[in-house]
A and B are shown apart, each in its own frame.
Chain A
Amino acid sequence: MTTMKKIQRTWKINGESRTVQFPPARRLLDVLREDLDLKGTKEGCGEGECGACTVMINGELAVSCLLAAGQVRDGAEILTVEGLEKTPGGRLIQRSYLEKGAAQCGFCIPGMLVSSYAFLRRHPVVNEESIKDAHAGNICRCTGYVKIIEAVQAAAERWPADEGKPS
């Protein structure tokens, strides 16, 4: 096998500028975990079904297992689970999951947290149905959904008014 020529990208990852080189179609998941040592993002199914590898790119959700990293252009803002602690809303969600005991085995939780964050920062109408819809792309095989829903609900009640923008 020949080695594909590498390309270079500079992104703002969790608020920090990082430059990395990789073959253009290397999965963003692999670039994050292996090239950038951000191991919080998990690989579950590798087929875009489970959501464990969910990250936010320029405010939109993505499963990093289905994204050729080169498609994320220079200057893009990437948020992984590691970046949540840097924002008031992210910290609130993390605390809320802890308080409600929303993690069981924990493997789905990085993706769940990022989906919760992407959801709440749009200042949506929050009810059980909208929470379920916002986390429909995240599968918890411990089936711990009830507490996850409660955690999102609790975070929504205290969501900082100035974080994110209206949906």
Chain B
Amino acid sequence: MTTPMEQLDVAFPASLPEALALMANEATRGLPLAGGTDLMVQWESGARPVPVRAIDVKNLCELHVLRGENGMVVIGAGITHAALRRSELIRTAIPALAEAAATVGGGQIQAMGTIAGSIANASPAGDLAPTLLASEARVVVASVRGERELPLASFILGYRRIDLAPDELIVRFLVPARREGERELFRKLGPRAAQAISKIMGSYRGSVRDGVVASFAVALGSVAPTAIRLPEVERAVIGQPLNEATIARAEQVAAASVKPISDIRSTAEYRQWVSGRLVRGFLEHLAGRDAT
């Protein structure tokens, strides 16, 4: 059997510098291919044209770092969802990210798909983006011209668009580790637990001091062209007592502030309502009650 991908040339650089050198030249650059869990499906189905060339970045060992340093977790671009969910460091420092990774596809997709692939695919339904946004992650991209570091929030430009120059590769993410007293949670709604793309999902990180919300960052996916933070909700709760009145207002603000669309996976009305319910669940979790 011949598939469309058999017309695809693939370069197999042995190191990151070699990969960047290939990317630097228009005649040798290609689309970075890591786990293939998005690209191969899109190519095979015809949803996305097969490019002339791909660059295998799956095997670049420089992209497989995973370590903590100075309150920051450094996550290489090639770290898979399986590695994220298994990592003791991630489970302690960014538990919501481990949770999010564990809900992606099934074990096979988790072992193949990478953090950079999830972000570069820039689907609003990508499961890792909300947690990374809520934890104020930064992205480091590299080219032969050098490295560039920017907030993930600025890196994601729009629906399936990221701020990556043709000669650049995503090399790592810098994610602030949870600080003392900070709680976080990832929640996702889909038609079934595994192998289903989210209808809506989200994540928060926050803290309470003396019954008052000291910090609260919340981000949702599948309610806008990209995963988004909800600044109106954050403003509505920070500095407020963490009680039912605050939670009820946050739920209302969340439902009113998102502008989702109806598509094959859900309706706009449902997503608005669930946005409110998710925010309520997050604040109840922050208050020490079980999320509903």
Interface residue ranges, A against B (CB under 8 Å): 1-2, 4-5, 7, 23-27, 30, 34, 46-49, 51, 54, 60-63, 65-68, 70-71, 73, 115, 118-119, 133-139, 167
| 10 pairs of residues in contact across A and B, judged by CB atoms under 8 Å | A24-B9, A25-B10, A30-B3, A49-B195, A62-B111, A68-B33, A71-B33, A136-B105, A136-B193, A137-B105
Chain B residue at smallest Cβ distance from A122: B86
Least CB separation from A137: chain B residue = B106
Chain B residues 192 to 238 lying within 8 A of chain A, measured CB to CB, are: 193-195
Q: Which residues of B contact A48 (CB under 8 A)?
A: 37, 40-41, 105, 108-109
Query: Contacts A4-B6, A4-B9, A27-B3 known; A137 to B40 CB distance under 8 Å?
Result: no
B residues near A24, Cβ cutoff 8 Å:
8-10, 12
B239-282, CB under 8 A of A: which get 1 and which 0? Answer: 00000000000000000000000000000000000000000000
Residues of A near B44 (CB, < 8 A) are 46-47
Known: A4-B7, A63-B112. A71 touches B106 (CB 8 A): no
A66 lies within 8 A of B195 (CB): no
Q: Say yes or no for B29: interface residue by CB 8 A criterion.
A: no
Residue from B1, B56, B108, B194 having most chain A Cβ neighbours under 10 A: B108
Is B89 an interface position by the 8 A CB rule? Answer: no
Nearest first, the 9 closest Cβ-Cβ pairs linking A and B are A137-B106, A136-B194, A24-B10, A25-B5, A25-B8, A136-B106, A66-B40, A60-B111, A137-B108
Is there contact, CB below 8 Å, between A67 and B36? yes
Residues of B65-119 contacting chain A, CB below 8 A = 80, 82, 86, 102, 105-112
Q: For the complex, give the distance between the alpha carbons of A62 and B37 in Å.
A: 10
Q: Does B121 contact A (CB under 8 A)?
A: no
Residues of A within 8 A of B6 (CB): 4, 23, 25-26
Within 8 A of A (CB), among B99-155: 102, 105-112
The majority secondary structure among interface residues of chain B is mixed
Report chain A residues within 8 Å CB of B36.
66-68, 71
With known contacts A73-B59, A136-B193, A63–B9 Cβ distance under 8 A:
no
Interface set of B (CB-CB < 8 Å, partner A): 1, 3, 5-10, 12, 33, 35-37, 40-41, 44-45, 54, 56, 58-59, 80, 82, 86, 102, 105-112, 193-195
**Whole-angstrom distance from the CB of A19 to the nearest CB of chain B?**
17
Residues on A with C-beta less than 8 A from B80 are: 60
Q: Which residues of A contact B195 (CB under 8 A)?
A: 49, 136-137, 139
Which residues on the B side are within 8 Å of A25 (C-beta)? 5-6, 8-10, 54
A62 → B minimal CB distance (Å): 6
| A-side contacts of B8, CB under 8 Å | 4, 23-25, 68
> Contacts of A62 on B, CB cut-off 8 Å?
108, 111-112
Residues of A within 8 A of B1 (CB): 30, 34
Asked if A26 and B108 make an inter-chain contact with CB atoms under 8 angstroms apart, the answer reads no
In the assembled complex, the CB of A120 is this many whole angstroms from the nearest CB of chain B, namely 13
Given the known interface contacts A63-B108, A115-B107, the answer about A27 and B45 at a Cβ–Cβ threshold of 8 Å is: no
- A61-B107 in contact given A30-B1, A47-B45, A71-B56 (Cβ < 8 Å): yes
